[in-house]
């Protein structure tokens, strides 16, 4: 028999990263991980931060600036009204903004060409630097999403 859920599920926060003392770095490591190989993901992320550090910049400052530049303000959600599906622009809540930013950062890093960079750490470092400067694939993704939301602003009255 169907039993409804009782109460809200509390979202679990990952433990703080031991080197950079940041939950966001832990989330980045967990999102880059393949097949449960966390140590490999840690090496890649820390390697990317070392590449940033070699350029004479503070990795955590650059990374947090990059995430701020990637976080979207609005997104479109589908809603059926009278048999038609409309793309309705809605503001993005805090947790989802962070999640989308990390997802787009990692995907943009993976899509970078292999001819220019050899390791994922180099690709990730380049994408973080680009995002901190306001360019790069992840920032383009955010701009695209916000442009679509702006184009569908006429349907915002369906948001209820």
If one counts the domains in the chain, the total is 1
**Model pTM?**
0.88
The burial of 51, by beta-carbon neighbours within 10 Å (0-12 exposed, 13-18 middle, 19 or more buried), is given as buried
The domain that holds 84 is classified in CATH as 1.10.455.10
Asked whether the predicted pLDDT for residue 156 surpasses 80, the reply is: no
8 found inside a domain: no
In a domain, 111, yes or no: yes
| pLDDT for the residue 49 | 96
- Provide the domain limits for residue 151: 23-158
Residues in CB range of 100: below 8 A, 6 or more apart: 70, 71, 72, 75, 92
Here the tokens at position 144 are 């695209």
Tell whether 126 is covered by a domain.
yes
Residue 18 included in any domain? no
pLDDT band at 139 (very low <50, low <70, confident <90, very high): very high
Domain annotation covers residue 17: no
Q: Is residue 10 in a domain?
A: no
Is residue 116 situated within a structural domain? yes
Return the higher-pLDDT residue of 102 and 9. Answer: 102
């Amino acid at each position: 028999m169907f039993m409804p859920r009782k109460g809200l599920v509390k979202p679990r926060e990952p433990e703080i990263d031991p080197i950079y003392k940041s939950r966001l770095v832990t989330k980045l490591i967990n999102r880059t991980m393949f097949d449960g190989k966390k140590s490999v993901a840690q090496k890649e992320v820390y390697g990317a931060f070392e590449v940033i550090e070699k350029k004479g910049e503070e990795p955590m400052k650059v990374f947090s600036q990059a995430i701020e530049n990637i976080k979207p303000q609005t997104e479109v959600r589908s809603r059926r009204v009278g048999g038609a599906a409309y793309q309705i622009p809605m503001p993005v809540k805090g947790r989802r903004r962070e999640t989308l930013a990390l997802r787009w950062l990692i995907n943009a890093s993976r899509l970078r060409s292999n001819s220019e960079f050899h390791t994922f750490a180099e690709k990730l470092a380049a994408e973080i630097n680009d995002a901190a400067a306001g360019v790069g694939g992840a920032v383009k993704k955010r701009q695209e999403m916000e442009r679509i939301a702006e184009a569908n602003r006429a349907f915002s009255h369906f948001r209820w």
